[in-house]
Amino acid sequence: MFSTQLAIKASVQVLQKLMPSAEGGRGFSFPPINTILRWKDVTPGINKVVIISILSAVIGTVLFLVASSKDARKAPKGSRNLAEIIVEFIEKNIIMETMGKSGMGWTPFLLTMFIFIYLCNLPGIIPFIQMPATARMGVPAFMALLVWVVFNATGIKHQGLFGYFKNVLFPPGVPKALYVLVTPIELISTLVVRPFSLAVRLFANMLAGHLLLVIFALLTQALIQAETQRFFLIPIGILPFGLLIFLTAFEILVAFLQAYIFTVLTAVYIGGAAHPEH
């Protein structure tokens, strides 16, 4: 009987060695994902993500309010310069490259979309905020739905209900026999995959970036605060910290790139619906 007790004690010790507990502060454990992503309500119905998305709209509005109230005849500088750079970026690099001159009427829509998404992405790397609003599905899902509604409405407005769906479902220039294959694919890709991939692309990019930052921040903390006999582990914490800095810089690029890609794809979808020959 005694030997059994001994064996149990030994195996329990082995197991505890193998699986370091989370509560002792030793070792590294990743918190459950909802701890990272879901935020407590500040006031009922408003949490951090909500505040970020409201602030994005407010900051964008203030930027353009200040910019447009400046004297237009002078050479632009400061906020007006920034606003004009963004407007010209939208016009030259997004609309002219995808829709051509006829798409200039979409500038305010795409401009607003770009600024809103970029400002929602950016808090992911701002210290002490560090939560991109687009890493929650709410904003991307709404934007993708809005784009879906807008490009379908544009198509119906420009080609008529019948003409639009004829162009979408039976693309011209395809052999008749292939329509059996092409029509279901086009139906799914245009009406289902487009909004889904738009939303998922933005959301997953920002979520992945956020998780990476969290992982390397936690690794740095765990290594620096490690209560270990092997003291050489502590300076090793500089390695995940360096990668954390690098990833933060990378996330700035990703935030811009995702806003840009979302806007370009919106422009492509709208342009394709308005002028199907392109």
Per CB under 8 A, contacts with other proteins among 205-224 are: 205, 207-208
Q: Residue 138 half-sphere exposure, CB side, CA atoms within 13 Å?
A: 14
Query: How many chain residues interact with other proteins (CB under 8 A)?
Result: 87
| Minimum separation from the CB atom of position 33 to other proteins (A) | 4
Residues 114 to 133: which contact other proteins by CB under 8 A? 115-116, 120, 133
Distance CA 95, CA 162 (A): 27
Of 4 and 229, CB closest to other proteins: 4
Build a one-symbol-per-residue string for 14-33: x at contacts with other proteins by CB under 8 A, - elsewhere.
-xx--xxxxx-x-----xxx
Left if phi > 0, otherwise alpha if psi is -120 to 50, otherwise beta: which for 7? alpha
Kindly tell me which of 127 and 175 has the beta carbon lying closer to other proteins.
127
Query: How wide is the angle at C-alpha 68 spanned by C-alphas 64 and 72, nearest 5°?
Result: 145
Identity of the residue, 47 or 183, whose beta carbon is nearer to other proteins in the bound complex? 47
Please tell me the distance from the alpha carbon of residue 89 to that of residue 67, in angstroms, as a whole number.
Answer: 16
DSSP-derived 3-state class of residue 50: helix
The answer to whether 201 contacts other proteins (rule: CB under 8 A) is yes
88 vs 235 by CB, closer to other proteins: 88
Q: CA-based Rg of the chain, rounded to a whole angstrom?
A: 26
Pick the binder of other proteins from 34, 127, 177, 229 (CB under 8 A): 34
Write the DSSP string, 212-268: HHHHHHHHHHHHHT---S-TTHHHHTHHHHHHHHHHHHHHHHHHHHHHHHHHHHHHH
Residues constituting the chain: 278
As to burial, measured by CB atoms within 10 angstroms (0-12 exposed, 13-18 middle, 19+ buried), residue 184 is exposed
| Cβ distance to other proteins smaller for residue 183 or 221 | 221
- When asked if residue 100 is in the footprint of other proteins (CB under 8 A), the reply is no
Residue 46 main-chain phi, psi, to 5 deg = -130, 120
Q: Which residue among 197, 237, 275, 276 contacts other proteins (CB under 8 A)?
A: 197
Q: Which stretch binds other proteins (CB under 8 A): 81-89, 173-181, 229-237, 244-252?
A: 81-89
The torsion angles phi and psi of 129, rounded to 5 degrees, stand at -100, -65
- Least spacing, CB of residue 133 vs other proteins, in Å: 7
Q: Which of 138, 126, 117 is nearest to 60 (CA)?
A: 117
Binding flag, residue 109, other proteins (CB under 8 A): yes
130-169 mask for other proteins (x: CB under 8 A)?
---x--xxxx-xxx--x-----------------------
Nearer to other proteins, 201 or 275 (CB): 201
Interface with other proteins includes 200 (CB under 8 A)? yes
- Binding to other proteins, residues 240-269 (CB under 8 A): 257, 260-261, 264-265, 268
278 scored as a contact of other proteins (CB under 8 A): no
d(CA 169, CA 74) in angstroms, rounded, equals 51
Residue 102 touches other proteins, criterion: CB under 8 A: no
